[in-house]
Amino acid sequence: MAMRLPQVNFKARDNVALGQFWADALGWVTSQEEGPGVTNVTPANFDWPDPSAVCIDFVIVEDPEPIRYRVHLDLATRSEAHQAELVARLRELGATPADIGQGDVPWVVLADPEGNLFCVLEPRENYPYDQTGPIAAVVVNCADPRAQARFWGEATAWTTHAANDDFASLRSAQGVGPYLEFIRTTGEPGRVHLDLLPYRAEDQPAEIARLEALGARPADVGQGDVAWAVMADPEGNPFCVLRPAS
């Protein structure tokens, strides 16, 4: 068995405003299909599940914990001119420059209006915009990239493209959409996490058991009685196993 990686989940003080920022940033659209406290950001005319896009959910939380930057997004660009234009547009939308000690690098580090870090990459051959879409990669800081790639590869059946002591990279078996990357860096879990979705509602218990056998464990983040299961991967990063509609 394996599950889809349908979305990245952001906790937000203002899900509508932050969702609109990211929709404008990516050229996508927003919807409130799950209720007033959740904003979905997806490509226009999106026929879900589409392996070419990992979408974003923004969930309102009254007092989100301090940001610790364990997960962030890297945005793709077509050219140096496109990179400069995108950075300028993002700053007009409310993004601000961020210094995390990156020094003189060809990519640009920004923070969204609620302080979540992200990078606008220079054009790279391994992130062709017409194949990845606007999100080049979902990047996870971790202690052991090889082990994280093994766990998440087994969870999603995504293909491993690179794996060493400092960096590992996965991508959907269809060879489209963003990469899921693991970089050896210190950090603690923060406001952003991944969601997994079984193909059928009745598969959820079996998938949870399979993930536990791979090294995940149940986690309590105050979720209460909900239809999804909150878990932590082998390094303690929280994630959710959603329950698809029957």
Strand order in the sheet with 238-241: 29-31, 38-42, 55-60, 4-12, 192-197, 238-241, 229-232, 217-218
* CA-based nearest residue to 53, from 159, 162, 148, 172: 172
pLDDT of residue 36: 73
DSSP reduced 3-state for 84: helix
Task: State the pairing for strand pair 117-120/71-75.
Answer: parallel
CA 36 to CA 232: how far, in whole Å? Answer: 27
Residue 222 burial (10 A CB sphere; 0-12, 13-18, 19+): exposed
Per-residue model confidence (pLDDT) at position 88 = 98
Domain range summary for the chain, segments of one domain joined by +? 4-241
pLDDT of residue 28: 94
CA–CA distance, 158 with 138 (Å, rounded to integer): 13
The yes/no answer on whether domain 4-241 falls in CATH 3.30.70.920 is no
Q: Report pLDDT for 4.
A: 87
The two beta strands, 108-111 and 96-97, are antiparallel
Per-residue pLDDT of the chain (246 residues), as tens digits, is 678 888 899 989 999 999 999 999 999 999 887 667 899 999 987 765 565 568 999 999 877 666 666 789 999 999 999 999 999 999 999 999 999 889 999 999 999 999 999 999 999 999 999 999 999 999 998 999 999 999 999 999 999 999 999 999 999 988 889 999 999 986 665 668 899 999 888 999 999 999 999 999 999 888 888 889 999 999 988 899 998 875
Residue 120 near residue 86, CB atoms below 8 Å: yes
Q: What pLDDT score was predicted for residue 165?
A: 95
* pTM (two decimals): 0.90
How far is residue 96's CA from residue 19's CA, in Å, rounded to a whole number? 17
